[in-house]
Structure 1
Amino acid sequence: MFSGINNTIKRDNYRWVIWAVCALAFLIVFFHRYALGVVAEDLGSELHLSGTQLGNLISMYFYIYAILQIPAGILADTIGPRAITVSGMIIAGIGSFILGSSTIPVTAYLGRFLVGLGVSGILICILKIQTLWFKPKEFATVLGLTSLVGNSGGILATTPFSLLVMNIGWRSSFYVIGIISILIAGLLWLVVRDKPEDLNYSSVLEHTDENNNIDIKSGLLYIIKDKSTWVNFIILAGIMGTIMSFSGGWGVTYLMHVYDMSNDAAATQVLIFTIGVLIGSPIMGRVADLFGDRKRLIQVGSLVFTVVWGYKVIAMNNILPMYQLPIVYFLAGFFGIFMMLTHAIIKEINPPKFSGVAISVINIAPFVGTVILNFVIGWVLDLTWQGEFVNGARLYEPENYQYAFLSYFIVSLIAFIFSFYINETKRS
């Protein structure tokens, strides 16, 4: 009796060690995701990139990330999260070195591609580990904590990264993050285990036989044919795509061009956006687990997010008074992150043995949304550009950004409408 209790206590303690190391890797994932936003001006100038080319470089990460979500989910369900996370962080580190040494667009694209390739399976593996090491009633809370740590990487990729770039240059800065990525890979190998049974701990699943004889093809078909998958997919694509596109791509350059801010001042404004995400993440998870009504939280979050972008882009012509910028960005980040609850919904309406595949399908959405939005925004900026250059980079006027950022409002409104069609399971 006592040995069983002791076994459970050890398992429940060690799972947090595993989670902490995986969350650290997820922090680096977010840093890689948003880091180009800070150096976009430098890249555009040194590599002579147009708005469309710069948008494509930023999106290269998201292209490969989105394409590999389902394969990564299948691998998480079959060979396990440990091997994927370790190899992925090594590849991301190599990609960061290549990006930092780029002198032509082709090598920059290659470096960004390898970074996206390496980190593409990290979140899926973390959520798979959460499924196997944590109880269902804890899932949304741990999801919120994971989002909190991950988005801390987004914060590090704003003002702190801008200061690092100012001191050692953007190339050396990418070398540093490459080294850190590879060191974390070693830590993952030492600490992470795919499931409690690997350390002779008891399983947290009530029916452990559900993980045997996995038929990936039938599971994938089941998930794809479920209309709930696509409702949640569209919501995530619209709002998380907007967050990632603005924070990781266009936010800093927009503020520099429209408000004549320095790079670090613009990065600080985007940092406030990310702080909203950071604070909203654990609150979202805890409230969802306490009350169980995830649909209502998603509806509220998507409504506020849509109103914020409508006010900014349409009512105020995309030129807010300076004192309103931090308020608007904080609200957008705080309520926008509520969309992460779609992961918990998808996880619960699908069998545990297919959790990796189910999450991988839905996790494609933010990156599809980001890629589409980055392309549209870059295309609209180039279409409306009036031919001016500053320090070798294209200069876009406020009205150029207003036309481009209308896409943020439109996709947010679509996400809000689809939130009324969510189906979720409710625990007693």
Structure 2
Amino acid sequence: MDKRESSFRWVVFASVMFTYLLMASQRTAPGLITVQLMTDFQLTASTIGLLTSIQFFIYTSLQIPMGIMADRYGPNFFLIVGAILTGIGTIIYSLSTHELMLFFSRILTGTGDATIWVNMVLILSHWFNSKEFTRLIGVAGMTGSLGFLLATVPFSSTIHLLGWRGAFLLLGILICFCGTLLYFVLVKKPKQLFPNPPVVIENVRQREKLFVLLRRIFSTRQAWALFFCHFGLVGGYLGFISSWAVPYGMNVYEMTRSGASQLIMIGLIGALIGAPLTSWISSRLETIKRPYVIVHIIILMSWSTFLLLNGNPPFPILVLLFFIIGFGFGASALTFAVVRQSFPISESGIVSGFANTGGFLSAVLLPSIFGNILDRFTTGSASLGDGYFYGFIIPVVFSAIGLIGVSSIREAVGRRDRSTVPSEPE
């Protein structure tokens, strides 16, 4: 029986998606307890920013290597190990008694998180035909946003009920359970159902040309345009909500933790809408660059509004800004539509990893820089509001870089489209 015709493939899909849902929540859930950590561990804003950045740094640095290893050794092992590492890291986070334990736990979590997307895509491609894969990869993208959504009001309520340590301990145990479940679903059960898998012939030529390919791509203007394009949208949103959004709502607007987490939820609703809507608009207009440039301009204007209104916009405007910025984050999926349009299939995975590295690099930089600014401008006679005002300069700068990147993108032409058909291996 072919894997792609077996009903068991839906068990694989559900198991992988549930694991991704829980693992994605760990990217932003720590932002709910930023104030609590600063109190319990006597941490400065700079340390909190570094604590948030280190997970994204690990994730970012492993994207391209993970793609290479998954192609060479298969995705199942790395996804299983990644889920278990994320679970163990989350458990250690809940039991931490020193800031060094917090850092170690986030390093483990970032290492595990780095395995999920590349390996998930490869697993789905093995179990589903091309038509099903196209539909399901969109569901996978939305699952990541739903994971962020889980880390808002629902997880905030769990923290209120169990305390932050109990909530993270429970989540860590669930993720470890998912890793065990994936072993049975991806390894043990398929061996029983499909005892004679097809033999895959390794393409030695492509492996030998890997470093030449990387060097050529990294010197391509289009690849760097996509890198900076993604840099401008992802970090401003993801880096901010994972560290400073909840403290911002609590300190500047005197909101409760649950109330401030609702701001994040509004942004995530925008992200859930942004991905499919901007893709549909681009398809209807038969162009990606024009609507994507408009998105970048709107995001730059939105972050600039925080500066124009002294870092403290009226609450209705604040809600609208969170929604728009979240919408822009969802629209960042257009980056990979440009990748698919601009590069041959044989190169699209590496270019996607390179572009994704740009997005998460900005998510690494923003929390730490923002925290340093808060420390600098909330001492002496300066107020906390002044610190946030100057902090918002960072996402404005990042957005401007993104606008330069998207403006530098070259729309595909017929010659490039024809080159997307991969050649047969020798």
Is TM more than 0.5 here? Answer: yes
Q: Determine if the alignment matches structure 1 residue 375 to structure 2 residue 368.
A: yes
What is the distance in 2 between the residues matched to 1:141 and 1:302?
Answer: 26
What is the distance in 2 between the residues matched to 1:72 and 1:305?
Answer: 31
Q: Determine if the alignment matches structure 1 residue 310 to structure 2 residue 304.
A: yes
Q: Determine if the alignment matches structure 1 residue 233 to structure 2 residue 227.
A: yes
Deviation at 1:15, TM superposition (A): 5.5
Deviation at 1:293, TM superposition (A): 2.6
**Which of 195, 210, 214 pairs up with 2:206?**
214
What is the distance in 2 between the residues matched to 1:337 and 1:33?
Answer: 16
Aligned equivalent of 2:320:
327
Aligned equivalent of 1:392:
none
What is the distance in 1 between the residues matched to 2:412 and 2:16?
Answer: 27
What is the distance in 2 between the residues matched to 1:52 and 1:291?
Answer: 45
Deviation at 1:286, TM superposition (A): 4.6
Is the 1:64–1:117 Cα contact (8 Å) retained in structure 2?
A: yes
What is the distance in 1 between the residues matched to 2:220 and 2:13?
Answer: 30
Give CA-to-partner distance per residue, 1:151-199, whole Å, 9 cap, x none. Answer: 1111111111111111111111111111111122133333348xx9x96
Matches within 5 A, 1:101-180: 101-129=95-123, 142-180=136-174
Is the 2:307–2:392 Cα contact (8 Å) retained in structure 1?
A: no
What is the distance in 2 between the residues matched to 1:285 and 1:210?
Answer: 35
Aligned equivalent of 2:394:
407
Is the 2:20–2:144 Cα contact (8 Å) retained in structure 1?
A: yes
What is the distance in 1 between the residues matched to 2:266 and 2:101?
Answer: 32
What is the distance in 1 between the residues matched to 2:392 and 2:219?
Answer: 33
Q: What amino acid sits opposite 2:60 in the alignment? A: A
The change in CA–CA distance for 1:298 and 1:406 in structure 2 (over 3 A counts) is same
Aligned equivalent of 1:187:
181
Aligned equivalent of 2:16:
22
Aligned equivalent of 1:391:
none
Q: Determine if the alignment matches structure 1 residue 83 to structure 2 residue 70.
A: no
Aligned equivalent of 2:333:
340
Deviation at 1:423, TM superposition (A): 3.0
Quick check: 352-361 or 96-105, which moved more?
Answer: 352-361
What is the distance in 2 between the residues matched to 1:371 and 1:264?
Answer: 25
- Stretches of structure 1 that go unaligned for 5 or more consecutive residues are 1-5, 203-207, 389-394
Tell me the percent identity.
29
What is the distance in 1 between the residues matched to 2:373 and 2:153?
Answer: 28
The change in CA–CA distance for 1:226 and 1:142 in structure 2 (over 3 A counts) is farther
Give CA-to-partner distance per residue, 1:335-358, whole Å, 9 cap, x none. Answer: 332112212332454444444433
SS in 2 for 1:329: helix
The change in CA–CA distance for 1:334 and 1:211 in structure 2 (over 3 A counts) is farther
Aligned equivalent of 2:5:
10
Is the 1:7–1:201 Cα contact (8 Å) retained in structure 2?
A: no
SS in 1 for 2:139: helix
SS in 1 for 2:310: coil
Is the 1:131–1:355 Cα contact (8 Å) retained in structure 2?
A: no
Quick check: 370-379 or 283-292, which moved more?
Answer: 283-292
Give CA-to-partner distance per residue, 1:369-407, whole Å, 9 cap, x none. Answer: 01211121111111111259xxxxxx9621210101111
The change in CA–CA distance for 1:353 and 1:365 in structure 2 (over 3 A counts) is same
**Which of 255, 273, 281 pairs up with 1:261?**
255
What is the distance in 2 between the residues matched to 1:119 and 1:108?
Answer: 16
The change in CA–CA distance for 1:78 and 1:347 in structure 2 (over 3 A counts) is farther
Quick check: 76-85 or 348-357, which moved more?
Answer: 348-357
What is the distance in 2 between the residues matched to 1:133 and 1:231?
Answer: 33
Give CA-to-partner distance per residue, 1:295-332, whole Å, 9 cap, x none. Answer: 23322221221121112x22212211112222221121
Is the 2:23–2:113 Cα contact (8 Å) retained in structure 1?
A: yes
Deviation at 1:141, TM superposition (A): 5.3
Is the 2:79–2:119 Cα contact (8 Å) retained in structure 1?
A: yes
Give CA-to-partner distance per residue, 1:120-175, whole Å, 9 cap, x none. Answer: 12112233345666677887754432221111111111111111111111111111
Q: What amino acid sits opposite 1:324 in the alignment? A: I
Q: What amino acid sits opposite 1:10 in the alignment? A: E
The change in CA–CA distance for 1:139 and 1:221 in structure 2 (over 3 A counts) is farther
The change in CA–CA distance for 1:185 and 1:350 in structure 2 (over 3 A counts) is farther
Quick check: 346-355 or 357-366, which moved more?
Answer: 346-355
Deviation at 1:294, TM superposition (A): 2.6
Deviation at 1:244, TM superposition (A): 0.7
Deviation at 1:280, TM superposition (A): 2.0
TM-score (norm 1): 0.86
Is the 1:380–1:403 Cα contact (8 Å) retained in structure 2?
A: yes
What is the distance in 1 between the residues matched to 2:79 and 2:383?
Answer: 40
Is the 1:301–1:339 Cα contact (8 Å) retained in structure 2?
A: no
What is the distance in 1 between the residues matched to 2:404 and 2:136?
Answer: 28
Is the 1:245–1:373 Cα contact (8 Å) retained in structure 2?
A: yes
Is the 1:77–1:356 Cα contact (8 Å) retained in structure 2?
A: no
Aligned equivalent of 2:378:
385
Q: What amino acid sits opposite 1:308 in the alignment? A: S
Aligned equivalent of 1:418:
405
What is the distance in 2 between the residues matched to 1:326 and 1:229?
Answer: 34
The change in CA–CA distance for 1:189 and 1:9 in structure 2 (over 3 A counts) is closer
Is the 1:347–1:358 Cα contact (8 Å) retained in structure 2?
A: no
What is the distance in 2 between the residues matched to 1:122 and 1:7?
Answer: 25
